[in-house]
Amino acid sequence: MEPLRSTPDFPQFKRLVEIIARLRAPGGCPWDREQTHASILSCLLDETYEFFEAVEEKSDAKMREELGDLLLQVVLHANMAHERGVFDIESVAKEISEKLVRRHPHVFGEVVAASSREVLKNWETIKKGEKGKEHRTSLVDDVPAALPALFRAEKIQRRVARVGFDWADITPVLDKVEEEFAEFRQALEQGSPAQAAGELGDILFALVNVARHKNICAEDALRLTIAKFEKRFRYIEEVFMGRGKDLQSATLEEMDHVWEESKKAVG
C-alpha cells in the first residue's frame, strides 16, 4: 500500500472545504446558513453512531460513506469558526498534528516506550504539562460528562488504572459484581427504589470493570445484544403476522416458543 500523501495531493478535501464555504456563503443554502455549532451537535453524534454500525457490519463501503459524513461535520464546524475569525480547518489540522508529535516522543523524539502501558503513562504526563490543562487537578477532569454512561465508566476506569488504582486480576472484579448484586437484591426486598437504583448503578459499573479487564467494550457489547434482541423480536412479529394473529392477543408462552425458534432462524 502506498503511504498517505501530503495535503496538496488531496484535491477532493480542498473541494469539500470549498463546497462547505459555498453552502454557508450569502446566496448559499438557507438551511446550512442558519446552523450554529450548537444546532448541529446531534448530527455529529448521529453520524458517529452510524459509523459504529458500519464497523460492526464490516462494510468498507459504508465506513467510507459514514467517515465522509463525519468529515462533513468537522469541516462545517471549522467553517463556522472561520466565519467568526477564530480558527479554520488548517489550524485544526495543525493543532492535532502538533499534539500527535508532542505526545509521541517515543516515535518523533528520543524517549523509549517499550509497551502500550508506558506509552499511556507518558501520554498522561505530557497532557498535564500542556497549555490549557493547568486547571485540571484530576485524571478524570476531562472525561466528557455527555459520553454514553457505559463508555464513560470504562474511560474513567482506564484512566485511574494507569496510576495503579486497579485490581491485578479478574477474580476480585467478579467478586465485586456478586457483592453488588446481593446489595441490589437486598434493596429490592426492602422496598427502597432509590437505594435499588444506586445499587443497580454499582452493578453496571462493576460489570463494565469486568469487561474492561477482558478487553471488551461494554458499550459495544450492549449495543450488539440490543441489535440481536431487535432481530429476534422482529422475527416473532413476522411469525404472528403470518398467522394472522395480533401479538397483544398472544400468550407469553406462545411468544416464548417463537423466541426460541428465532435463535435458530436469525441468530
Residue 94 and residue 23 share a domain: yes
CA gap 12, 211 in Å, rounded: 41
Q: What's the whole-number mean pLDDT along residues 120-126?
A: 79
Q: What pLDDT band is residue 10 in, cutting at 50, 70 and 90? A: confident
Flag whether pLDDT at 3 surpasses 70. Answer: no
* Higher-pLDDT residue of 124, 233: 233
Residue 235's domain comprises 220-265
What's the CATH code of the domain at 25? 1.10.287.1080
DSSP state of 37: T
Would you call 140 helix, strand, or coil by DSSP? coil
Residue 16 and residue 42 share a domain: yes
Which whole-number Å values give the CA distances from 22 to 18, 32, 181, 247, in the listed order? 6, 10, 57, 52
pLDDT in tens, 156-177: 999 899 888 999 999 999 999 9
Residue 176 and residue 132 share a domain: no
**Would 25 be classed as within a structural domain?**
yes
Cell of 105: 516522543
**Would 143 be classed as within a structural domain?**
no
**Would 255 be classed as within a structural domain?**
yes
pLDDT of residue 64: 97
pLDDT of residue 110: 85
Are the C-beta atoms of residues 210 and 172 closer than 8 Å to each other?
Answer: no
Residue with cell 395480533: 246
Which whole-number Å values give the CA distances from 120 to 16, 42, 82, 104, in the listed order? 35, 31, 33, 10
Alpha carbon of residue 63 to chain centroid: 15
Residue 95 and residue 18 share a domain: yes
**Would 163 be classed as within a structural domain?**
yes
Any idea what the Cα angle at residue 40 is, between residues 87 and 140, rounded to 5°?
70
First to last CA, the chain: 37
Task: Tell me how many domains the chain contains.
Answer: 4
pTM: 0.67
**Would 47 be classed as within a structural domain?**
yes
**Would 144 be classed as within a structural domain?**
no
